Amino acid sequence: MAPLRPDVAVGRWRSRTDPGQDLRPPWSDGGGGDAGGIDPHRTRGPQGSARQAGELSATLRIGVLALQGDVREHHAALSAIGVESVSVRRPAELASVDGIIIPGGESTTMSRLLVLLDLLDPLRAALADGLPAYGSCAGMIMLATNILDTRPDAHHLDALDITVRRNAFGRQVASFETDLELDGVAGGPMRAVFIRAPWVEATGDDVEVLGVVPDGPAQGRIVAVRQGVVMATSFHPEVTGDRRVHEYFVEMARSAR
């Protein structure tokens, strides 16, 4: 487990493979590396490879909730694997997508903007109707059914039967990166970046744990989960250049069609 470099602590991540990606809240779109693929022998969940994901997603459109957070990085990750993406800020845009990504950012701000833009109820309804979704960091918080240490007036999407703790690893200066394995994702450990991240305190019976912190003070804490066609990670795969989590989600969304 390693601390983040100083440039991350002030809001900017410079990865080994994709330097200079900006994590400051964007309102505009943006957009890689291939570090492996999805396990073709997995009996539960997505199957395939990076190449297959690009081939099979020719008519697949993934939305990125574009209210606040690292929207551009998710667009760039999807573009790198050949997947069409669209920013979602309105119900009409939501209706046009085959899956949606809830990005990292600030969950309380996202909650308020969902209400302000009349998107909260349509998004909840779409998720309840089976829209595939992936949430990273704040996106995990938004998708959860139960959130600890949150404001009483905050809204969430009730799509994952998990209890999450906000800022569980500590403040910004306690952010860190480590290598961890994800169940069903081939190619060896991936570099995981945790920035004021949540962790999962408890899961429902139908929730599959995909990954945990491998060592350090938070060893064993749950940081990646899946329930049906909804998945979430505490960390930010969109900032590292490793596209395997996005490939996993794309294949999951394609298989759900």
Cα 136 → chain centroid: 3
φ, ψ of residue 67 to 5 degrees: the values are -95, -40
- E strands, the chain, are 2-3, 12-13, 21-22, 61-65, 84-88, 99-102, 133-136, 144-148, 160-165, 176-180, 190-194, 199-203, 208-212, 222-227, 230-233
What's the CA gap between 80 and 86, in Å, rounded? 14
Question: Which residue among the candidates 73, 155, 177, 238 is catalytic per the annotation?
Answer: 238
User: Hey, CA dihedral for 204, 237, 155, 10, is it positive or negative?
Assistant: positive
Helix (H) or strand (E) holding 75: helix 71-80
Active site residue 181: no
52-to-42, 80, 122, 188, 197 alpha-carbon distances in Å: 15, 13, 31, 19, 31
Active site residue 238: yes
What's the CA gap between 246 and 233, in Å, rounded? 11
Question: Which residue among the candidates 236, 246, 247, 251 is catalytic per the annotation?
Answer: 236
Tell me the pairing of strands 230-233 and 84-88: unpaired
3-class SS of residue 2:
strand
Active site residue 73: no
Question: Which residue among the candidates 74, 75, 137, 155 is catalytic per the annotation?
Answer: 137
Which are the catalytic amino acids? Answer: 137, 236, 238
